Amino acid sequence: MAPILLPQIRCPKFLRKAGFRAAINIHHPGLPGAARIKTDTATNHMAKYKLEYIWLDGYEPVANLRGKTLVKEFDSFPSLEDVPNWGFDGSSTRQAEGHSSDCVLKPVGVYPDTTKENGAIVLCEVMHADGTPHSTNARATILDDEGTWFGFEQEYFLWKDGAPLGFPKDGFPAEGQGRYYCGVGYGHMGDIAREIVDTHLDLCLDAGLNHEGINAEVAKGQWEFQIFGKGSRKAADEMWVARYLLLRLCESYGVDVNWHCKPLGDTDWNGSGMHSNFSTEYMRTVGGKEYFEALMAAFDKYKNEHIAVYGPDNHMRLTGLHETQSIDKFNWGVANRGASIRVPNSFIPNGYKGYLEDRRPNSQGDPYKIASRILQTIQTVPTP
Ligand code: ADP
Ligand code: MN
Ligand code: MN
Ligand code: MN
């Protein structure tokens, strides 16, 4: 009989992650990453992959992420062509129409999931049985252009027992905002948040996402991560996968993610945005004052259309306070965090070239719709 081997030696990264998470488990025994190294024979290289099909449901105004697992055998990590369409019961996700409740999951991306041995996340679009996109499937109809780059800054609150993680049982922390942004130390940051955000970063990098960084935000319990991508689909896909990974990771800590843009309401605590940085090839390579001014005029003209897809309840957040512009105004400003669009310091000295930051999209916004609207407005402005 062939000796029993550990086939995962093919994948040193998995072992590293397993060891890493096993160490974490000493502190938090519920974590998902406990090493589950299975045995296999040396001759059989087929392995059972756990494919987590994830999709956006039909809830309004904000879709929830859903996921279910399909086990399938492959001889190596599956590519998009290898993973089949699947289905689900649309009547349980507000996606069933009429008497036919079966919806189709059409894979559009496959990402390694290192919380599991042979794990993969399969990002899907929701289709009707006849192959046409479901009305909740924004991805199928958005504008895309690989030459347009997007950088999304996702802010959110870690949330526990109805309040930001680290808030006292009743009321607010004795110390208001000031020392939490990029803060360090147990008194301000607590004992769990850092482990969550750092583990989330590792999971995103393992999944191949362009996660670009983390910072603790202005309110206690509030954090941010950034995802960058070339093309609206790629950037937005990766944001949804990153959101999924964060939600799932937080389950094991008994912590929720609160994506609402103003979860503490009309108080002196910041809301959460998803600043959307963008640059077309023309903006990066040609630019110019005249084009920039025409572009900003178009953003002003379509400000209501932008706000309409920049996330729900944004009137609660875009008040003119807490580093925002009022919801009914449009302006731009160099290094101005109270502007609708912030122009980075280097933009004008570089000949009005580079990227711009639209600060209005909020933390619950759908990055597909946000990126598509930005492209739509850009397309109204002729390039000389
Ligand atoms: P800040 O908090 O100062 O607004 P961040 O560093 O959090 O800035 O986010 C800046 C974002 O801008 C990053 O996500 C980055 O990927 C993105 N970015 C940088 N250059 C470009 C570019 N040329 N086009 C689009 N996005 C860009
Ligand atoms: Mn930022
Ligand atoms: Mn921020
Ligand atoms: Mn920003």
- Strand-pairing partners, residue 256, are 159
Distance 351 CA to ligand 2 centre (A): 24
Distance 275 CA to ligand 4 centre (A): 5
- Checking DSSP bridges between strand 149-160 and strand 256-258, what pairing results, if any? antiparallel
For ligand 1, atom 14, which residue shows the shortest CA distance?
Answer: 151
Distance 225 CA to ligand 3 centre (A): 8
Distance 15 CA to ligand 3 centre (A): 34
Q: Ligand 1: which of 148, 150, 153 to mutate, judged by most atoms within 8 Å of the beta carbon?
A: 153
The count of residues in the chain is: 384
Q: Ligand 1: which of 145, 222, 228, 283 to mutate, judged by most atoms within 8 Å of the beta carbon?
A: 228
- Residue 46 is predicted with a pLDDT of 95
- Residue 45 is predicted with a pLDDT of 85
pLDDT-flagged residues of the chain (< 50): 1-40
- Strand-pairing partners, residue 275, are 153
Distance 286 CA to ligand 2 centre (A): 26
Q: Ligand 1: which of 277, 281, 334, 336 to mutate, judged by most atoms within 8 Å of the beta carbon?
A: 277
| Domain 19-127 superfamily per CATH | Glutamine synthetase, N-terminal domain (3.10.20.70)
- Residue 100 is predicted with a pLDDT of 73
Among all bound ligands, the one having the nearest atom to the CA of 355 is 1
- Residue 126 is predicted with a pLDDT of 98
- Residue 43 is predicted with a pLDDT of 57
Residue 201: both structure tokens together: 């970063």
Distance 218 CA to ligand 2 centre (A): 11
Measured between alpha carbons, how far is 46 from 44 in angstroms, rounded to an integer? 6
For ligand 1, atom 18, which residue shows the shortest CA distance?
Answer: 151
Question: What amino acid occupies position 327?
Answer: I
**CA distance to 104, 144, 150, per residue, from 236 (Å):** 21, 11, 8
- Residue 268 is predicted with a pLDDT of 94
CB-CB contact of 146 with 231 (8 Å)? yes
Distance 45 CA to ligand 2 centre (A): 44
Measured between alpha carbons, how far is 361 from 371 in angstroms, rounded to an integer? 10
Among all bound ligands, the one having the nearest atom to the CA of 156 is 3
Q: What is the CA radius of gyration of the chain?
A: 22
Distance 305 CA to ligand 2 centre (A): 24
Q: Give the environment of ion ligand 4: residues with CB less than 5 A.
A: 153, 275
**Is there an atom of ligand 1 within 6 Å of 226 CB?**
yes
Contacts of 158 (CB under 8 A, 6+ apart): 164, 165, 193, 196, 221, 222, 223, 250, 255, 256, 257, 258
**Quick one: which atom of ligand 1 is closest to the CA of 228?**
16
Class of domain 149-379: alpha beta
**Is there an atom of ligand 1 within 6 Å of 52 CB?**
no
Measured between alpha carbons, how far is 13 from 164 in angstroms, rounded to an integer? 34
The ranges assigned to domains in the chain are 19-127, 149-379
- Residue 101 is predicted with a pLDDT of 83
